[in-house]
Structure 1
Amino acid sequence: MNHLLGYLLASLILSALTALVHADNRNESLVKAFSAMTSLEDGWEPLEFPDIDHHSRYQLVDDNGEQVVRATTDNSASGLIARVSVEPGDSLVLRWRWKVSNVFEQGDARKKDGDDYPARIYVAFEFEPEEAGFFERAKRKAVEVVFGEELPGNALNYIWANRLPVGEIVANPFTDTTMMVAVNSGEENSGEWVTVERDIVADYRQAFGRKPPKLAGVAIMSDSDNTGESATAWYGDIQLIRP
């Protein structure tokens, strides 16, 4: 009898520990935290564009005792990307905090010459060929041959906007495969840390009208190549977690 009770107790403890481990894994971020990085290449890599010569600058800096990324943009554009391959499931939460020095006077998410943001989080998804037409597939294949890399499909851009109201979702003025989601807008909170949390599965459904495919990457970008303006942004840890 004592042996049986001992076995049952051990089984219960094992089950409880297994549940805790699974719970911890669910709350574990799928991208590397900036506060834990030893260099900018530690889990993230540069995101640059062939037609843009002036790149934004990214540095690991201390902000009140916590390591964050400071981005400086001056008539420039580039980013940092963490490449992932994640099935989003029914819910996938993206949580981060950021701060900007200012917004752009000429910034306007609805216009090509205003498509600049002091801070943005770019979430890229895998390409779905079954959802694309023949010419779209042919164009993508030509670009992939030239640049030697498979291109992502649709994308969500979480932006610190200028004119676009918070909560508004609009197509990017250059492509309708990227949807812009205003999570902050205007100067009201400039100079302050702001925390944002989004369910990217719900946002994708709202933006594109269907469930999302696998994630291909999460990027930060501060850009000002269209407006020619300048700003500084600070990015705290970005968490990609299953609730």
Structure 2
Amino acid sequence: MNNTRQNLVATVTLMFLATTVQADTGKTSLVNAFSTMASLDEGWEPLKFPNIDRHSRYQLTDENGEQVVKATTENSASGLIARVSVEPGDSLILRWRWKVSNVYEQGNARKKEGDDYPARIYVAFEFEPEEAGFFERAKRKTVEVVFGEELPGNALNYIWANRLPVGEIVANPFTDTTMMVAVNSGATNAGEWATVERDIVADYRKAFGRKPPKLVGVAIMSDSDNTGASATAWYGDVSLVKPD
């Protein structure tokens, strides 16, 4: 990841400047299912980063009779994002299926030059000014003046890790406001579908030591701009549900 993405949370901000499009119903998934979409424009939109010209490619495709998203990354970085506005409450369940062709030999969640993943789910939360220092608040105030919107705050990244052990949580090497959660790791299960279910509230408490604020976005992302590698990933339906 080059200096233009030194703070992933900040660059993602550009994609949150419009009004959120999802409502918190508490009854069904709060993000649209890939399997039922006629196009990727239905509730999801491109997530691109400033000064990164090579973008990963996303398309709807059939995989064993089910419509999924196929992502291809070749020394590139971009994602697909669904904006939401959800009060997490006591529990908020994120479920998804994914598959990767390979992991990156040079990938390493603990180093800037290795901060690439064949597949990740990015979960962003509302900024909490009372938890930030003076300089952080000043930086965000500048963005608010320029763009008319406030930066999102902390984030969880659920990753198909290259070498980080499953279950381990580490700070992103570029910013400690983003925590990386290894839910799959290594090449042993590459080429096979894996199903993941996480309680976002529990993970946020473990990662940041407090209750999460409002959830403002969920994204899928396959990137390889740091390592210069390539990979293909398949994303099944992403489901965000509040338990009864």
- Whether TM exceeds 0.5 here: the answer is yes
Aligned to 1:11: none
Aligned to 2:37: 37
| 217-226 or 36-45, which deviates more | 36-45
Distance 1:51 1:237 in 2: 30
Aligned to 1:242: 242
Percent identical across equivalent pairs? 85
Aligned to 2:91: 91
For residues 130-145 of structure 1, the aligned pairs below 5 Å read: 130-145=130-145
Distance 1:151 1:84 in 2: 15
Compute the displacement of 1:242 (Å). 1.3
The answer as to 2:157 corresponding to 1:161 is no
Compute the displacement of 1:144 (Å). 4.1
Distance 1:232 1:144, change over 3 A: farther
Distance 1:193 1:80 in 2: 20
TM (norm. structure 1) is: 0.88
Distance 1:150 1:46 in 2: 20
Aligned to 1:68: 68
Look up the SS of the partner of 2:119 in the other structure. Answer: strand
Compute the displacement of 1:142 (Å). 2.3
Stretches of structure 1 that go unaligned for 5 or more consecutive residues are 1-24
Distance 1:34 1:169 in 2: 28
User: Partner amino acid for 1:106?
Assistant: Q
Stretches of structure 2 that go unaligned for 5 or more consecutive residues are 1-24
Compute the displacement of 1:36 (Å). 1.1
Distance 1:71 1:145, change over 3 A: farther
TM (norm. structure 2) is: 0.87
Distance 1:108 1:148 in 2: 36
Q: How many residues align?
A: 219
Distance 1:147 1:67 in 2: 37
Compute the displacement of 1:27 (Å). 5.0
For residues 70-219 of structure 1, the aligned pairs below 5 Å read: 70-147=70-147, 149-219=149-219
Compute the displacement of 1:26 (Å). 4.5
Distance 1:51 1:146, change over 3 A: farther
Distance 1:148 1:49 in 2: 19
Compute the displacement of 1:143 (Å). 3.3
